[in-house]
Amino acid sequence: MKWKGMRKNRAGKGKKAGEIFLRAILAAAAFMALYPVFFLLAGSLMGNDELLRDLGPVIVGEGGQAAFPLLPSYPTLRHYVEILLDTPEFFVMFWNSVKITAGVLIGQLLVGTMAAWGFAKYDFPGKKALFLLYLVLMLMPFQVLMLSDYLALDKMGLTDSLWGIILPGAFSTFPVFLMYRFFREIPDSLIESAKLDGATDWQLFWHIALPMGSSGIIAAMVLGFLEYWGLIEQPLTFLKEKSLLPLSVFLPDITAADQAGAAFAASVLAFVPAILVFLGGQDYLEQGIMAGAVKE
């Protein structure tokens, strides 16, 4: 590995002290990056009394200052029980999030992989211009496309429907671009020899593109999951009906003293699926991030 060689070249105590100092700063920064996770977990496990004592000034606005320990003194799962058993709205929202995320990802899997394969390994007139168009669309923020999105959904009668969130997401051009980068890496010689053996276009796609580009496909799915699980702008704009809202826009009222614990538990439950995907797919996530930037 490269760094081993670099470290061998290093000597002297002054440098070592500096190294330790820098490491300490990095570790502190990493702790800050992780702090919210600890904070929410701790809060969700605290009883109402403890929460009120520590966060009372924020929650009910009484005098004094909030204080917050890193660990609850009397951990309890009451808030989780409350959310999971006594809050039907939570389930509706959770389920809506699942439907949106699953719908978008399945759509991207169906049309996105095919388009990426077409861009990566075929030549046809106008390909360059079309690809540039996909690139431009991928880079436009939601606000620019918001009105056009709405006009399209309105015409198709899809406002106030989960399909109005799912369909535009399924045709998002970002995963196409991402998977394209991975399909490009598949050697042409392999495709040529498969063709010589009489493979059809479809067989090439099924037996070469999908298995060999699988890390790209997974990378796109991981990034897509994190994006659509936390989606805010689209549901906020296009869904008026309360029963359709996903978990990502669910913000319980924490100023009511007896709700604070439930709010913590709900936000932990909202990030559990995302953290699981993150931990399971981190290698792919990183490859996906890199594919967005590194020119072949």
Partner 1 sequence: MAGKRMTRKGARGFFWILPSFLGVLAFYLAPYADVVRRSFFGAVNGQFAGLENYRTVFGNPAFLLAVKNTLRFTLVCIPLLVAAALACAVLLFRSKYGGVIKSAFLMPMALPAVSVALMWRMLFHPNGLLNQWLSHLGVAGCDWMNTKYAFWVLVASYVWKNLGYDIVLWMAGLSGISESIYEAARVDGAGEWQCFVKITLPNLKPSFYTITVLSFLNSFKVFREAYLVAGDYPNESIYMMQHLFNNWFREFSFDKMAAAAVSESVVLLALILLLQKAWDGAGEEEKKLARKSRKTGGSGGRLGVKRRGKK
Is 287:215 a contact under the CB 8 Å cutoff? yes
What are the DSSP calls for 44-89, one per residue?
HTS-HHHHHHHHHHHHT--SS-----SS-SS---HHHHHHHHH-HH
CB of 5 to partner 1, least distance (A): 6
Residue at 122: amino acid letter? Y
Candidate list 170, 221, 244, 245; residue touching partner 1; CB under 8 A = 170
Let me know: does 238 contact 166? Beta carbons within 8 Å: no
What are the CB-based long-range contacts (under 8 Å, 24+) for 246-252? Answer: 246/93, 246/96, 246/97, 246/100, 247/90, 247/93, 247/94, 247/96, 247/97, 248/97, 250/90, 250/93
Q: Per-residue string for binding with partner 1, 174-193, x by CB under 8 A? A: --x----xx--x--------
Region binding partner 1 by CB under 8 A among candidate stretches 37-45, 77-85, 98-106, 188-196? 37-45
Q: Smallest gap, in angstroms, from Cβ of residue 120 to partner 1? A: 9
Site string for partner 1, 11-30 (x = CB under 8 A): -----------xx--xx-xx
Give yes or no for residue 52 binding partner 1 (CB under 8 A): no
Contact stretch for partner 1 (CB under 8 A) within 74-82, 84-92, 189-197, 261-269: 261-269
> Quick one: which of 134, 213, 234, 262 contacts partner 1 (CB under 8 A)?
134
Kindly tell me which residue out of 92, 98, 109, 135 binds partner 1, with binding defined by CB under 8 A.
135
Using CB under 8 A, count the residues that bind partner 1. Answer: 117
Choosing from 11, 70, 129, 196, the residue that interacts with partner 1 (CB under 8 A) is: 129
Q: Choose which of 24, 81, 110, 190 interacts with partner 1 (CB under 8 A).
A: 110
Distance CA 271, CA 264 (A): 11
Q: What string marks each residue from 211 to 240 as x (binds partner 1 by CB under 8 A) or -?
A: ---------------x--xx-xx--xx---
Of 17, 20, 24, 37, the residue at the interface with partner 1 (CB under 8 A) is 37
DSSP characters over 106-171: HHIIIIIHHHHHHHHH---TTHHHHHHHHHHHHHS-HHHHHHHHHHHHHHHT-TTSTHHHHHHHHT
Query: Which tokens belong to 212?
Result: 């060999």
Residues in 75-104 that interact with partner 1 by CB under 8 A: none
